[in-house]
Amino acid sequence: TVGAVALDKDGNLAAGTSTGGMTNKKFGRVGDSPIIGAGTYANNKTAAVSGTGWGEFFIRNVVAYDLSALMEYKGLTVRDAGEQVIKKVGAMGGDGGLIALDQKGNAAMPFNTAGMYRGTITKDGTIEIYIY
Amino acid sequence: GQYVMVIHGGAGTILRSSMTPEKEKAYRTALEAALKAGYQKINAGSSSLDAVQAAITMLEDNPLFNAGKGAVFTHDGKNELDAAIMDGKSLKAGAVAGVTVIKNPIMAARAVMERSEHVMLIGKGAEQFAKECGLTIVDPKYFYTEDRWKGLQKAIEEEAEKNKRGNGYNPPGTGYPDYKFG
């Protein structure tokens, strides 16, 4: 699974996710990536979110929308909201990670797996790549 | 508060022991290239949607990642791809699921968002829509990669092993191997 969240010069957020699904997948199973609110969500009032992980748990927890709702209704930062929703997934026995970006350019990249491929770029073009 | 783009290439068991310096370099180079593709769009005054699509298209075209060209295989030896995109300003969204011949599913998701009144299209219908929108349609063989094919064989062997031990199904939280992340 791959994903991206972006903030443009007009202050608009966008999120996208694309996946090949799950090895050895059967019966037409679909994960969270194409499900708006589960693996992909964007709202200028809160954040843009893209998830990757055990899809069934991201769907049941409506992870991407939940992060946005924690920010909108409880005033959490994108970082705290991201930590909370990944913790909820872990508490149910699932695992994975997400990337999120808010309208002020704050980023969050929480995950509870052994690793996650992540990358960021700032307004002035500074790039950071993280794998573990 | 200075980020303009964040990307990911998937999560899962990324063992340092299995990550050779060459492989790590290849991942880093691919992630950097995707960030630069998105950044160029933002710098040129394009929309965050264009930046997201540019970055993800690059990752879909790179066999290192479980999306597009590098997609993993289903039990039937097929590649079933899914994608979604969402605009934070209008709250419009588009998604495709279970597609097998669309070269860049993220572009199909964007077409659903901007050129249909729907949010999600699946399977053959989604493929027909993508074709009518002029997106690149490929032979399913385009998605074949040796690595992923071997991954499928390994997963099928593991599953047969588990079935032999009588616990083919892994209820959540029972250490289900996360080979599925690709």
* CB-CB under 8 Å, B172 with A120: no
What are phi and psi for residue B114, nearest 5 degrees? -100, -20
SS3 B152: helix
Name which of A16, A52, A118 is nearest B52 (Cβ-Cβ): A16
The DSSP bridge partners found for residue B12 are A115
Percent of chain B with pLDDT over 90: 81
- Say what the pLDDT of residue B58 is: 98
pLDDT above 50: residue B179? no
pLDDT in tens, chain A (132 residues): 999 999 999 999 999 999 999 999 999 999 999 999 999 999 999 999 999 999 999 999 999 999 999 999 999 999 999 999 999 999 999 999 999 999 999 999 999 998 899 999 999 999 999 998
Q: Which residues of A27-57 are buried (b: 16+ CB within 10 A; e: fewer)?
A: eeebbbbbbbbbbbbbbbebbbbbbbbbbbb
Contacts of A120 in chain B (CB under 8 A): 3, 5-7, 35
For residue B49, the chain A residues in CB contact (below 8 A) are: 6, 14
Query: Which pLDDT band holds residue B107 (cuts at 50, 70, 90)?
Result: very high
CB contact under 8 A, B65 and A122: no
Residues B44-61 have pLDDT tens digits of 999 999 999 999 999 999
3-class DSSP state of B71: coil
pLDDT at B112 exceeding the cut of 50: yes
* Chain A contacts in chain B segment 30-89 (CB below 8 A): 31-32, 34-36, 38-39, 42-43, 45-49, 51-53, 55-56, 59-60, 65-68, 70-76, 79-89
Checking DSSP bridges between strand A40-42 and strand A47-53, what pairing results, if any? Answer: antiparallel
